[in-house]
Structure 1
Amino acid sequence: MALPALGLDPWSLLGLFLFHLLLLLLPMPTTTTGEGGQGPVPRVRYYAGDGRRALSLFHQKNLQDFDTLLLSGDGDTLYVGAREAILALNIQDPGVPKLKNMISWPASDKKKSECAFKKSNETQCFNFIRVLVSFNATHLYACGTFAFSPACTFIELQNSSLLPILEDKVVEGKGQSPFDPAHKHTAVLVDGMLYSGTMNNFLGSEPILIRTLGSPPVLKTDNYLRWLQSDASFVAAIPSTQVVYFFFEETASEFEFFDKLRTSRVARVCKNDRGGEKLLQKKWTTFLKAQLLCSQRDQLPFNLIRHAVLLPDSTDPHVYAVFTSQWQIGGTRSSAVCAFSLKDIKRVFEGNYKALNKETSRWTSHEVPDDISPRPGSCSVSPSSDKALTFMKDHFLMDEQVVGTPLLVKSGVEYTRLAVEAVRGLDGNSHVVMYLGTTTGFLHKAVVRGDSRAHLVEEIQLFPDPEPVRNLQLAPTQGALFAGFSGGVLRIPRANCSVYGSCVDCVLAQDPHCAWDPESGTCRLLPTSSPKSWRQDLERGNPQWACASGHIARSLRPQSRPQIIKEVLAVPNSILELPCPRLSARASYRWSHGAAPVPKASSMVYNGSLLLLLRDGAGGLYQCWATENGFSYPVVSYWVDNQDQPLAPDPALAGIPRERVEAPLTRIGGGAAMAPQRSYWPHFLTVTVLLALVLSGALITLLASPLGALRARGKVQGCETKTPGEKAPLSREQHLQLPKERRTSANDVDADNNHLGTEVA
């Protein structure tokens, strides 16, 4: 029997009621925005073990801490410095790197016993390789902590293989390698000379910038003059034409606050520095340093530098550096990537100096005195005068800051390392691609647009368990990136364009390594010389322009005609789940029913999937649409049909390929049929139990109502007022016998000559 008031049969009414009750019980899904407070969102995410982003792992039994990476000159061999061993890996073939050979370089037993006596943590009493540079075509130069007694040696090469280290070739490495493997350090080999920045003592309280090897004299910073603060931490050394730049962080001596303020620095020394003759003997005479500033407007600066690399360019080379902040906002750290022009760095070092006024204890700006020539700290070929060297002792800090351009700011992430390359796109322009490793073992690939803002192309989880990325090394000729960590070395292809299955996806990714090939109908790696018919739009990411001709897998304009339809057959009053693949985390998604929005009374979008109650008129074409960069396209299309009363075919959809699929469903009043996918059957059981409890409560309430009415009828009027000492009746019988216990007076009679009582016994 139908219900004329609603036009629904009992099963349909029950199904509609249970569907809405199910929606109330489902937890509210969390929504994410593409450019919210978290910063840019990676368009695609790959978790550890995802076959779409295959990684090749090299590891060696009984070896760990693969911290130092060096690429050979021909790009075919990767040298790796691990704990007490150095390896040569053949990386010519794709896949897992192959071990050419390995040499061991352990700390001596004597050094290990001395270290164990001084250090409580015996896991640090090994030889951790910290410096690995190419000295020439036949030798490498390596330094290690050597159980808190730094040592260095030359390693001979034979056909890119390593020859064993001879004990008599090992020399002291103090000043070139840190004592503690946890201390940050940097080193670069320029013109046969090694420029190092590290800690120079066992306690880690004496930072030093030193030049060793080669014919020029050994030069270092003056510890007494406090050119470097005792907590200085070095992260990179970058050579330029006449100078070598060191990037580090330290406590800012020019700012006085209640709490110690850390700041990032860039220091400069000249390659032709020979030291002073009388003053500053065996010391740098060209040492200068300046503050690095990486910040956004109206926000606290990112004052802690973590790593820096140089991207060579013929016109304007830049240094790219990753920063974090000593202040945690909202309990999470934030990271930023800033670019610094070498022209700006050079200009700052040619400006005014900053000096401390000992009388006022304030830092003031100083110009170069007219009677001092050449300019103090300059790379002049003529020797500096004593007056210039005296000026240099107290005027080593530059007055102006080196201001960087923030390219990427992201909260909740702490970057540890980066690698940068320039990739030429189909438009002929060079695009900067950055690879960023995190403290939790993720890799972010970012592309810098023309407006100096970066977007994240993808995020890759490198390790199943969180641990920091120790090092990154690009191998452009191999088309790969290598990541060193505690357990080995990972080979990561720079891109996997095949995951983008259409021209729309390929263009929206805005990956400089990928372009759409209309002839093969695939997204492919961009070769050195690509055909003009290939499609790419790195600046705008506009598929409507880039995919205007040739074979495309999706429509150019927002329209309802899909490329393939998935057919779903279900019984009436079933709750269906129609999934929507999330091809991009930067896109917004919506559902449509034909040309209209989905009916709100019998549907709900939950975690991207459409929950649909199949009723009369609820079948037909359902499409999930994605909108990205102002372009809308259908991600998936379903034809939902009632197996009892199939719909008539839609002529507008004739000729479109169809695929029969099974959607998870829950049938109201007739059991359940579930596909292998996720089902809402547990939610339906919960709804059923709650409905039974509600009906039971209502039945108990209805049965209790007559009993309450009988009790109300049995009450006697006038018995509501009781004296303070009176006890309440114990039972219904006692309550009914109370009128017989009244005491009356002879004077109290009514009209019928009956006595009336005035007191209650």
Structure 2
Amino acid sequence: MALPVLGLDPCSLLGLFLFQLLLQLLPPTTAGDGAQGPVPRVKFHAGDGRRGLSLFHQKGLQDFDTLLLSSDGGTLYVGAREAILALDIQDPGVPRLKSMIPWPASDRKKRDCAFKKSNETQCFNFLRVLVSFNTTHLYACGTFAFSPSCTFIELQDSDLLPILENGVMEGKGQSPFDPAHKHTAVLADGMLYSGTMNNFLGSEPILMRALGPQPVLKTDNFLRWLQPDASFVAAVPSTDVVYFFFEETASEFEFFEKLRTSRVAQVCKNDVGGEKLLQRKWTTFLKAQLLCAQPGQLPFNVIRHAVLLSADDSSEAHVYAVFTSQWQVGGSRSSAVCAFALSDIQSVFEGKYKELNKETSRWTTYGFPDISPRPGSCSAGPSSDKALTFMKNHFLMDQKVVGRPLLFKAGVEYTQLAVEKVLGTEGHRHLVLYLGTAVGSLHKAVVSGNGGAHLVEEIQLFPEPEPVRNLQLAPSQGAVFAGFSGGIWRVPRANCSIYESCVDCVLARDPHCAWDPQARTCSLLPSPIPTSWKQDMEHGNPDWACTSGPRGRSRPPLRRPQIIKEVLAAPNSLLELPCPHVSALASYRWTHGPGQVPEASAAVYNGSLLLLLQPGLGGLYQCWATENDFSYPVVSYWVDSQDQALALDPELAGIPRERVEAPLTRVGGGASLAAPRSYWPHFLTVTVLLALVLSGVLILLLAAPLGALRARGKVQGCGTPPPGEKAPLSREQHLQSPKEHRTSVGDVDVDNNRLGAEVA
């Protein structure tokens, strides 16, 4: 890099030299983490006041795992460890405890559990099922110290009444034994459909129907409809059937490594079991493979969570599911979100079956059987023995349910999902995903009309990494509730006030936020939506949304700085001008007036501009952000010398100014004006270390020839030891008198070689 050395005084030359040396010593700036998938536009760390969260916790309680929203949306029921709570969430802020009832496991159950389990921390009652049975009762089930139990809880004005001891019943098949095992349960038409482990060891998965007028039905464990490692994540009721989503080891594929696969199973609500065959067993159980894959990549074969979004005027009902991969690429897991239409799931269960060939132990395709009604269909009345015999061995469907990919994210493991649709200013409904991660973060994603997704924000919920255990969306309260080991976080769906300008509000592409041109603020969308409010969810283009005029299209938005920060410094001072990165999706550049910054006296490091203030280098410095092909100034500095002030630019007249003190250091002599941050300690440290290293290398270079000369002298003068010294002994050589010693040329060479080896 050429330096303009002519016409500079010695202090300026010294300053330029030291500045260039400092730039060489600074570590290079990384360009990013290289993660694939959309990047959160804004990140909020734990405790950030810009994204105010409310935490509810109760002394002595932990493991807030199960959440249930009341029908009116004003009460949140929480199943914690050995307690059930009712929280009033109608007012903003921290949820208020309305009532709490304890439900601990008995002392006898805990003693029996401690005798069988080495980990005594699991010998409690962990609430696993909490559903609304009717307007007056809740139905709850828990592990009860590895002895599952269930009970009805009476409600009185949304408050919980105490549990009667004689009201506790056995909950085997409805709640898992082990709190670490995954499970699911849903109440449909007054009947509880559950998927869990049915034994103490956790090797007998079961799909079960309990409660209600219909008989209790289970899956047949002997027929191996479910693999022993099946793990249930969700249950979704439909009109005539209930769908269970789970993952298990695939039995239809033969690989060296066990292949895990995601499944959807179907059972009919009107199933009454068989009369002779499959008594008290499902006669309509079918399962199919779920496929969530990115083109050209390995499939995401492990399902973590799934939710149903009912049909509306614009689209049919869909199931949205979160997947991870069995294989870790690059040392970290990846995640994906796929959408499955209920019509696609239904068509797969109406297709062909798979059949296991017992001779070859291979699964083959089986066509449509000549049985009426079709086996597995929800026809009225009991099925024939022929149909039941067919169902015992033909429970796996041939076709896969292929999902529509919505979001791929590398390096992130999603654990929970909540979904809603939000009406925008243009009258379209936008799909919003709330995704909880395995390290305690919450991602807010928006799916655009073309099928792509972008991440609006990332919120770190917990100071220490911990998975999000549950998510409950409360649309009427405008919040998402996240359960974890220590309590319940209330997360507002959006905080539009963090977007201080129209440009930032539109670029955020948050469907909950829009720009109010009258109040000149970014605010939550009210209902009904005013026609003057601005939003651009598809493109995020402020060119037309942030302009004045009847329709906001008269002229482009003003790109003049909103405020100018004045920095006064002495000549030859090293200034650091920060540039706040308001968006992780934008690219940033610095300008000096209408042109580029001087390369010889300025450099960009971690977004900040390092400027060596030389004569003629004052003036306007701006950091520009470019996002969605739109550029705007993020921050503007007017840098001036204390010795010779510059004339004000007439084009900047009328813009408010603010005096600031930028971190600076005098490099050309004299005292520094302010030094909150100096690079000279780093420079001196590196200089001293470099001097020590060079000194060590010089000593080694000088010591090597001296050592070689000393060794050579010992080899050449070792034939006759001096008087008074003993000759070196050797295991292969006997001592002889000098008179009797006879030598030859070969003997001398051997001795010299041996001595040379010893010297070396």
Q: Same fold (TM over 0.5)?
A: yes
Partners of 1:92 and 1:5 lie apart in 2 by: 70
Secondary structure of 1:400's aligned partner: strand
Q: Retained in 2: the 8 A contact 1:414–1:439?
A: yes
Amino acid at match of 1:10: P
For 2:591, the equivalent position in structure 1 comes to 592
- Decide whether aligned partners of structure 1 residues 72 and 673 sit closer, same or farther in structure 2, where only a CA change above 3 A counts: same
Unaligned runs of 5+ in 1: 701-721, 727-761
For 1:710, the equivalent position in structure 2 comes to none
Which of these residues, 85, 88, 91, is aligned with residue 89 of structure 2? 91
Secondary structure of 2:347's aligned partner: helix
Secondary structure of 2:271's aligned partner: coil
How far is 1:545 from its partner?
A: 2.0
For 1:78, the equivalent position in structure 2 comes to 76
Amino acid at match of 1:411: A
For 2:221, the equivalent position in structure 1 comes to 223
For 1:635, the equivalent position in structure 2 comes to 634
Which of these residues, 271, 274, 278, is aligned with residue 273 of structure 1? 271
- Decide whether aligned partners of structure 1 residues 534 and 112 sit closer, same or farther in structure 2, where only a CA change above 3 A counts: same
Partners of 2:455 and 2:521 lie apart in 1 by: 22
- 1:587-666 aligned at under 5 Å gives the runs 587-666=586-665
- 1:693-732 aligned at under 5 Å gives the runs none
How far is 1:6 from its partner?
A: 2.2
> Cα RMSD over matched residues?
2.4
Partners of 1:396 and 1:661 lie apart in 2 by: 73
Q: Retained in 1: the 8 A contact 2:123–2:146?
A: yes
Unaligned runs of 5+ in 2: 699-712, 718-760
- Decide whether aligned partners of structure 1 residues 557 and 146 sit closer, same or farther in structure 2, where only a CA change above 3 A counts: same
For 2:405, the equivalent position in structure 1 comes to 406
For 1:715, the equivalent position in structure 2 comes to none
Secondary structure of 1:17's aligned partner: helix
For 2:241, the equivalent position in structure 1 comes to 243
- Decide whether aligned partners of structure 1 residues 650 and 400 sit closer, same or farther in structure 2, where only a CA change above 3 A counts: same
- Decide whether aligned partners of structure 1 residues 302 and 556 sit closer, same or farther in structure 2, where only a CA change above 3 A counts: farther
Q: Write the deviation string for residues 420-455 of structure 1: whole angstroms up to 9, x where unpaired.
A: 011011111111101011111100000001121211
- Decide whether aligned partners of structure 1 residues 5 and 18 sit closer, same or farther in structure 2, where only a CA change above 3 A counts: closer
Amino acid at match of 2:387: A
Q: Retained in 2: the 8 A contact 1:193–1:212?
A: yes
Partners of 2:519 and 2:672 lie apart in 1 by: 44
- 1:427-442 aligned at under 5 Å gives the runs 427-442=426-441
Amino acid at match of 2:340: F
Q: Retained in 2: the 8 A contact 1:408–1:453?
A: yes
Matched, 1:347 2:347: yes
For 1:21, the equivalent position in structure 2 comes to 21
Secondary structure of 2:290's aligned partner: strand
Q: Retained in 1: the 8 A contact 2:5–2:13?
A: no
For 1:513, the equivalent position in structure 2 comes to 512
Which of these residues, 293, 296, 313, is aligned with residue 294 of structure 2? 296
For 2:702, the equivalent position in structure 1 comes to none
- Decide whether aligned partners of structure 1 residues 269 and 530 sit closer, same or farther in structure 2, where only a CA change above 3 A counts: same
- Decide whether aligned partners of structure 1 residues 537 and 5 sit closer, same or farther in structure 2, where only a CA change above 3 A counts: closer
- Decide whether aligned partners of structure 1 residues 125 and 203 sit closer, same or farther in structure 2, where only a CA change above 3 A counts: same
- Decide whether aligned partners of structure 1 residues 197 and 5 sit closer, same or farther in structure 2, where only a CA change above 3 A counts: closer
Secondary structure of 2:112's aligned partner: helix
For 2:710, the equivalent position in structure 1 comes to none
Which of these residues, 169, 182, 206, is aligned with residue 208 of structure 1? 206
Partners of 1:675 and 1:159 lie apart in 2 by: 63
- Decide whether aligned partners of structure 1 residues 566 and 202 sit closer, same or farther in structure 2, where only a CA change above 3 A counts: same
Partners of 2:603 and 2:316 lie apart in 1 by: 54
Q: Retained in 1: the 8 A contact 2:559–2:632?
A: no
Amino acid at match of 1:319: V
Partners of 2:145 and 2:430 lie apart in 1 by: 44
Secondary structure of 1:566's aligned partner: strand
Q: Retained in 2: the 8 A contact 1:623–1:637?
A: yes
How far is 1:279 from its partner?
A: 1.1
Q: What is the number of residues matched between the two proteins?
A: 697
Partners of 1:652 and 1:560 lie apart in 2 by: 13
Amino acid at match of 2:297: Q
- Decide whether aligned partners of structure 1 residues 618 and 517 sit closer, same or farther in structure 2, where only a CA change above 3 A counts: same
Partners of 1:681 and 1:212 lie apart in 2 by: 74
Partners of 1:586 and 1:4 lie apart in 2 by: 37
Q: Write the deviation string for residues 254-312 of structure 1: whole angstroms up to 9, x where unpaired.
A: 00111110000000001111111111111111100000001101111100000000111
For 2:337, the equivalent position in structure 1 comes to 337
How far is 1:558 from its partner?
A: 9.0
Amino-acid identity (%)? 78
- 1:172-191 aligned at under 5 Å gives the runs 172-191=170-189
Secondary structure of 2:193's aligned partner: strand
Q: Retained in 2: the 8 A contact 1:130–1:177?
A: yes
Partners of 2:376 and 2:275 lie apart in 1 by: 15
Partners of 1:374 and 1:691 lie apart in 2 by: 86
- Decide whether aligned partners of structure 1 residues 139 and 251 sit closer, same or farther in structure 2, where only a CA change above 3 A counts: same
- Decide whether aligned partners of structure 1 residues 662 and 164 sit closer, same or farther in structure 2, where only a CA change above 3 A counts: same
How far is 1:652 from its partner?
A: 1.7
Amino acid at match of 2:363: W
Amino acid at match of 2:361: S
Which of these residues, 132, 156, 159, is aligned with residue 157 of structure 2? 159
For 1:683, the equivalent position in structure 2 comes to 682
How far is 1:671 from its partner?
A: 3.1
Q: Write the deviation string for residues 222-264 of structure 1: whole angstroms up to 9, x where unpaired.
A: 0011000000000000001110000000000000111110000
Partners of 2:527 and 2:557 lie apart in 1 by: 35
Partners of 1:246 and 1:97 lie apart in 2 by: 32
Amino acid at match of 1:313: A
Deviates more, 1:596-605 or 1:165-174: 596-605
For 1:258, the equivalent position in structure 2 comes to 256
Which of these residues, 303, 306, 309, is aligned with residue 305 of structure 1? 303
Amino acid at match of 1:672: S
For 1:672, the equivalent position in structure 2 comes to 672
Q: Write the deviation string for residues 39-69 of structure 1: whole angstroms up to 9, x where unpaired.
A: 2110000001100001100000010000000
Q: Write the deviation string for residues 715-757 of structure 1: whole angstroms up to 9, x where unpaired.
A: xxxxxxx9x989xxxxxxxxxxxxxxxxxxxxxxxxxxxxxxx
For 1:744, the equivalent position in structure 2 comes to none
Q: Write the deviation string for residues 568-624 of structure 1: whole angstroms up to 9, x where unpaired.
A: 101001110000011000000000111111111111111110000100111111110
Matched, 1:565 2:564: yes
- 1:445-464 aligned at under 5 Å gives the runs 445-464=444-463
Partners of 2:163 and 2:685 lie apart in 1 by: 70
- Decide whether aligned partners of structure 1 residues 196 and 466 sit closer, same or farther in structure 2, where only a CA change above 3 A counts: same
For 2:326, the equivalent position in structure 1 comes to 326
Which of these residues, 145, 148, 154, is aligned with residue 146 of structure 2? 148
Partners of 1:80 and 1:584 lie apart in 2 by: 36
For 2:525, the equivalent position in structure 1 comes to 526
Amino acid at match of 1:77: T
Q: Write the deviation string for residues 89-131 of structure 1: whole angstroms up to 9, x where unpaired.
A: 0101100001001000000000000000000000000000000
- Decide whether aligned partners of structure 1 residues 463 and 508 sit closer, same or farther in structure 2, where only a CA change above 3 A counts: same
- 1:39-78 aligned at under 5 Å gives the runs 39-78=37-76
Partners of 1:28 and 1:162 lie apart in 2 by: 60
Deviates more, 1:161-170 or 1:4-13: 4-13
Amino acid at match of 2:368: V
For 1:743, the equivalent position in structure 2 comes to none
For 1:466, the equivalent position in structure 2 comes to 465
Q: Write the deviation string for residues 391-417 of structure 1: whole angstroms up to 9, x where unpaired.
A: 111111010000111111111111110
Amino acid at match of 2:413: E
Partners of 1:282 and 1:522 lie apart in 2 by: 63
Q: Retained in 1: the 8 A contact 2:497–2:521?
A: yes
Partners of 2:158 and 2:287 lie apart in 1 by: 39
Secondary structure of 1:399's aligned partner: strand
Q: Retained in 2: the 8 A contact 1:143–1:153?
A: yes
The structure with more radius of gyration:
1
Partners of 1:644 and 1:537 lie apart in 2 by: 49
Partners of 1:158 and 1:551 lie apart in 2 by: 55
Partners of 1:268 and 1:691 lie apart in 2 by: 71
Secondary structure of 2:263's aligned partner: strand
How far is 1:684 from its partner?
A: 4.7
Secondary structure of 2:14's aligned partner: helix
